Amino acid sequence: MSETTRSAHPVRPFPQFISAGEALTDLIRVGADQWLSKTGGSTWNVARAAASLGVSSAFAGAISQDWFGDELYAASQAADLDLRFLQRSARSPLLAVVYETTPPQYNFIGDNSADLSFDPAALPGGWQQAASWVHFGGISLTRSPLAERLIELAEDLHGRGVKISYDPNFRNVMDQRYDSVLKKMAQLADVIKVSDEDLAGLFRTDDTEAALATLRGFNPDATVLLTLGSQGAAIHAGDQYWQVAPPPITVVDTVGAGDAGIAGLIFSLIQETASAATSASSSQPATPDWLQHLRFSVACGSAACLNAGAKPPQLAQVRALLEKN
């Protein structure tokens, strides 16, 4: 390839944000004999939300080579994710079968499915040097051998000084066998995102305050983003605490709100770091402006509720909601 050709088609820089885990297809029962398929997966949704806000992003995971995988690939491309991190495998797709929607009842189908073939060693060389944050969570951390590979990847990134965010995103497959994973990932994380419902499920208790205390005890240095549904969200950082109520909106669908919330928080943190780096008069603040980051995160989660399905929030939507709140 000539130098002219190379300059005409510059290589895309590696992304600042990567979300590693599962991309799947939700099969939702919408009638006695009708099913609706939707692309999804919590870690994949986080990557799309971050990209929608404007940070260079990728989803690191493996998908199938069939129609379901084609849909996920096309949606990843449409979201402007860095496709060098998306692997494809000649295995069956990972499916979440939602057979009841009120309340949600579901099970996962994916024995030896494509997601399990993800190989971190096959990612493009040198990407870790460009990464500011890498996100983990979802059911990917319940699925062997994928879980072990992701934990090993998180340990490596933590050792390199890359920031780690973690959202367990409780599902019914996270029983006592998940306890060691929860503790290990919490110990590696700089930011942990949980909901009050997550705490009840993960710790198998109605005492969510005690569950939160246990979680924070795993890693007192981690900042915890606690989402509270209609009450907004709170941040616990050291001995400090902030809570922000959501702006007034008409909720259409809460699907993807939590994913948008953690993506918004990481986006806001990346923006703060970039602003400090380009400022000639000041260095990066010793402590982040957690209240402002929380306000942005809550606005992102609220923006995700304005549309049906896990549609990523748009930056203009988020800024408009911030003005209301």
- Per-residue pLDDT tens for 12-32? 899 999 999 999 999 988 887
What is the pLDDT averaged over residues 250-257?
Answer: 81
pLDDT for 308 beyond 90 = no
pLDDT for 188-208, tens place per residue? 999 999 999 999 999 999 999
How high is the pLDDT of residue 7? 42
In a domain, 239, yes or no: yes
- Return the CA Rg of the chain: 19
How high is the pLDDT of residue 321? 87
How high is the pLDDT of residue 282? 52
Beta strands 104-109; 133-137: pairing state: unpaired
Q: How many domains does the chain have?
A: 1
In a domain, 205, yes or no: no
What is the pLDDT averaged over residues 243-268?
Answer: 89
pLDDT band of residue 281 (cuts 50, 70, 90) is low
With beta carbons less than 8 A apart as the criterion, state whether 307 and 252 touch.
Answer: yes
In a domain, 164, yes or no: no
pLDDT for 290 beyond 50 = yes
Other CB atoms closer than 10 Å to residue 216's CB: what's the count?
A: 17
In a domain, 153, yes or no: no
pLDDT for 27-86, tens place per residue? 988 887 899 999 999 999 999 999 999 999 999 999 999 999 999 999 999 999 999 999
What is the C-alpha separation between 302 and 250, in angstroms, rounded? 9
The DSSP 8-state label assigned to residue 46 in this structure reads: H
pLDDT for 215-227, tens place per residue? 999 999 999 999 9
How wide is the angle at C-alpha 230 spanned by C-alphas 227 and 233, nearest 5°? 25
Question: Cβ contacts of residue 65 below 8 Å, gap of 6+?
Answer: 88, 89, 90, 114
With beta carbons less than 8 A apart as the criterion, state whether 246 and 318 touch.
Answer: no
SS3 149: helix
pTM of the predicted protein model: 0.93
- Residue 19 bridge partners (DSSP): 59, 135
| Percent of the chain topping pLDDT 70 | 94
What is the C-alpha separation between 260 and 312, in angstroms, rounded? 7
What is the C-alpha separation between 102 and 122, in angstroms, rounded? 41
Range of the domain at 322: 228-280+287-325
How high is the pLDDT of residue 9? 52
Pull the structure tokens for residue 45: 């949704």
pLDDT for 211 beyond 80 = yes
In a domain, 257, yes or no: yes
How high is the pLDDT of residue 294? 96
How high is the pLDDT of residue 2? 37
The DSSP 8-state label assigned to residue 247 in this structure reads: P
How high is the pLDDT of residue 230? 85
How high is the pLDDT of residue 168? 97
Nearest to 255 by CA among 21, 22, 26, 18: 26
Nearest to 228 by CA among 253, 249, 258: 258
Q: What is the dihedral of CA 290, 265, 244, 169, to 10 degrees?
A: -120
How high is the pLDDT of residue 274? 83
With beta carbons less than 8 A apart as the criterion, state whether 38 and 25 touch.
Answer: yes
Pull the structure tokens for residue 222: 């981690």
Q: Which residue has the tokens 């748009």?
A: 314
pLDDT for 3 beyond 60 = no
In a domain, 252, yes or no: yes
In a domain, 260, yes or no: yes
In a domain, 295, yes or no: yes
